Amino acid sequence: MPAHELTIGQVASRTGLSVSAIRYYEKEGLVFAHRNAGGQRRFPRSALRRLSFVIAAQKFGFTIARIRDVLSELPEDEAPSAKAWHAVALEFRADLDRKIAALEALRDNLEGCIGCGCLSMKNCKIYNRDDEAAREGPGPRVLRGI
């Protein structure tokens, strides 16, 4: 086993992810590994960076699909340049700023509606958003609209 490659267990202990989560992320296309003669995964070191990014992105509330999308700008296989990572960071950052702005706007609206104790439902911008949520189909909905 070449020194520059990592087993799934090594990747797990270095990222803090579980082995099963890493397999799942591979299946979802967030990270790539090739196989050795015996069929076991061997990860390039760059996988550590990708996975660390995945962990951070999830803390911000990004879905796997969105993360895959952002990461798809990086070269799959070997050490992406600082430039490539920077582009990813920029796109990520833009999403993030939008999310924070939306949360702040909601908070400030809430002050006007509930904060005053009147909770006027006829005029409130939060409460009368024309039914967005109702049209979104099944499944968990946490933060989905933001």
Partner DNA sequence: ATAATTTCTAAACCTAACTTTAGGTCAAGG
Partner DNA sequence: CCTTGACCTAAAGTTAGGTTTAGAAATTAT
Tell me how many residues contact DNA (CB under 7 A).
31
Site for DNA in 12-31 (CB under 7 A): 12, 18-21, 23-25
Written in H, E and C, the secondary structure of 68-132 is HHHHCCCCCCCCCCHHHHHHHHHHHHHHHHHHHHHHHHHHHHHHHHHHCCCCCCCCCCCCCCCCC
Exactly one of 3, 82, 90, 142 binds DNA (CB under 7 A); that residue is 142
Record the tokens describing residue 46, joined without a space. Answer: 């760059």
Is 64 a binding residue for DNA by CB under 7 A? The answer is: yes
CA 60, CA 77: separation in Å to the nearest integer? 26
Q: Which residues bind a copy of itself (CB under 8 A)?
A: 16-18, 21, 48-49, 52-53, 55-56, 58-61, 63, 82-83, 85-86, 88-89, 92-93, 96-97, 99-100, 103-104, 106-107, 110-111, 113-119, 121, 124, 126-127, 129-134, 140-143, 145-146
